[in-house]
């Protein structure tokens, strides 16, 4: 009996000093060289996962996808949105008192106990680094009043971000009906979150020691790519039986910043290998192309030659002035081998009848990558042109007659 009690006490002591999680793996990475070799190809990646995406942060476009719009459970990658809502609704220095419900939350844990007092800042580290479900509930109750109230805030934020295929029920992501997102919307969510300096700092932290009720606790990030693959700077792992293995990764190399998402991998090795394949495929084959220069150059060439060729019928002015619509984002991801295939074609009306109003359609400028249309901009009137009236014709004839008489006299 004494021996059993001693063993139990030893286990309790060990747990109090170390954070355990079903997402933490302290084994040395053995995949990297092998995966990098198989990823060093222009062939599209083949993944052992249900859904995946490569998302370019500058252009906000998908580079590559696999069922990226399919609704799926996302496990603890849910905590990306949890952190967003907390960071936008609470102060980092606020102190949270841990409830019995929070302390009793299962799955991956920070190791909180009922009555513990922890700052929002330290709870966020526990939430994002070791995927603490207990930390998620503690934060949810503090910010939303309850798990349900916090879920409402999560869904409100999702709606604000335009995430139409995302819905939250919990702040931690344990399997629940009606708790889902898509690979693409999860990438968009992570893109938004990474713009928050504190969020980006936490998910890029490999190891840290925090304080809970004056007790020190060492945390190790569950993200197996962080610190082991060039350019990786976040963001979040996930695992439940319903969602399988999930991983959202942010990478920045040579000014090209991407987010990859792998959802529904059967094993941790599959999610890791799949993520590496996506990352290496993107950086080997793609670059970010700025369309602004070629668009402005080709439009100005057309304007100089063709603008005055547009015939204005019955207008008080003979010539029209045009302008080109602006793109919200001139950047696009493009395969490196296709950079010389980008071309611009311009089509416009040859004749317009007055009255003409400012912003009236004149034509369009289309950008192609080979035969693929990648952007289209309207050319519009930059001025208004009134229609000639009877008096305008009368005064015109009068002026012509006076001019003819002057010529005869001279």
Q: What residues are annotated to the active site?
A: 76, 79, 131
CB count within 10 Å of CB 115 equals 11
3-state secondary structure of 401: helix
Q: Indicate the pairing of strand 207-212 with strand 331-335.
A: unpaired
With a CB cutoff of 8 Å and minimum separation 6, the contacts of 141 are 99, 101, 102, 147, 150
Q: How far apart are CA 6 and CA 12, in angstroms?
A: 10
Q: How far apart are CA 86 and CA 139, in angstroms?
A: 7
Nearest to 80 by CA among 258, 237, 206, 276: 237
Cα angle for residues 206, 288, 164 (degrees, 5° grid): 70
Q: How far apart are CA 88 and CA 143, in angstroms?
A: 10
Nearest to 19 by CA among 116, 129, 122: 129
Q: How far apart are CA 222 and CA 49, in angstroms?
A: 19
Q: How far apart are CA 64 and CA 70, in angstroms?
A: 14
Crossing angle for the helix pair 79-89 and 183-193, to the nearest 10 degrees: 30
With a CB cutoff of 8 Å and minimum separation 6, the contacts of 372 are none
Q: If you ran DSSP here, which 8-state letter would residue 341 be given?
A: G
Nearest to 188 by CA among 254, 243, 248, 131: 248
Nearest to 262 by CA among 64, 113, 42: 64
Q: How far apart are CA 134 and CA 10, in angstroms?
A: 23
3-state secondary structure of 97: strand
Phi, psi of 246 (to 5 degrees): -130, 150
């Amino acid at each position: 009996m004494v021996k059993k009690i001693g063993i139990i006490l030893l286990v309790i002591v060990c747990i109090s000093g170390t954070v355990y999680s079903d997402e933490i793996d302290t084994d040395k990475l053995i995949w990297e060289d092998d995966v990098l070799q198989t990823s060093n190809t222009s062939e599209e990646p083949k993944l052992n996962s249900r859904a995946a995406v490569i998302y370019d942060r500058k252009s906000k476009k998908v580079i590559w996808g696999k069922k990226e719009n399919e609704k799926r459970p996302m496990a603890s990658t849910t905590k990306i949105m949890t952190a967003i809502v907390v960071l936008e609704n609470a102060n980092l220095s606020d102190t949270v008192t841990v409830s019995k419900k929070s302390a009793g939350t299962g799955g991956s844990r920070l190791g909180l106990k009922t009555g513990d007092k922890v700052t929002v800042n330290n709870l966020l580290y526990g939430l994002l680094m070791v995927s603490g479900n207990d930390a998620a509930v503690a934060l949810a109750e503090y910010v939303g009043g309850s798990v349900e109230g916090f879920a409402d805030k999560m869904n409100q934020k999702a709606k604000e971000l335009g995430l139409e295929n995302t819905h939250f029920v919990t702040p931690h992501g344990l399997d629940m009906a009606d708790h889902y997102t898509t690979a693409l919307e999860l990438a968009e969510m992570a893109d938004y979150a990474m713009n928050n300096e504190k969020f980006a700092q936490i998910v890029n932290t490999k190891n840290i020691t925090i304080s809970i009720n004056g007790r020190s606790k060492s945390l190790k990030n569950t993200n197996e790519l962080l610190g082991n693959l060039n350019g990786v700077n976040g963001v979040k792992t996930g695992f439940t039986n319903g969602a399988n293995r999930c991983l959202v990764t942010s990478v920045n190399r040579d000014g090209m910043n991407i987010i990859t998402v792998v959802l529904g991998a059967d094993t941790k090795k599959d999610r890791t290998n799949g993520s590496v394949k996506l990352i290496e495929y993107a950086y080997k084959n793609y670059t970010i192309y700025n369309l602004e220069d070629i668009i402005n150059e080709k439009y100005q060439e057309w304007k100089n030659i063709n603008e005055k060729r547009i015939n204005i019928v019955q207008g008080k002015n003979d010539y029209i002035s045009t302008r080109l619509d602006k793109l919200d984002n001139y950047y696009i991801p493009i395969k490196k081998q296709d950079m010389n295939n980008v071309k611009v074609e311009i089509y416009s009306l040859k004749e317009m009848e007055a009255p003409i109003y400012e912003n009236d359609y004149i034509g369009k400028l289309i950008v192609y990558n080979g035969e693929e249309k990648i952007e289209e901009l309207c050319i519009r009137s930059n001025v208004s042109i009134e229609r000639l009236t009877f008096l305008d014709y009368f005064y015109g004839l009068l002026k012509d007659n006076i001019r003819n008489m002057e010529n005869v006299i001279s």
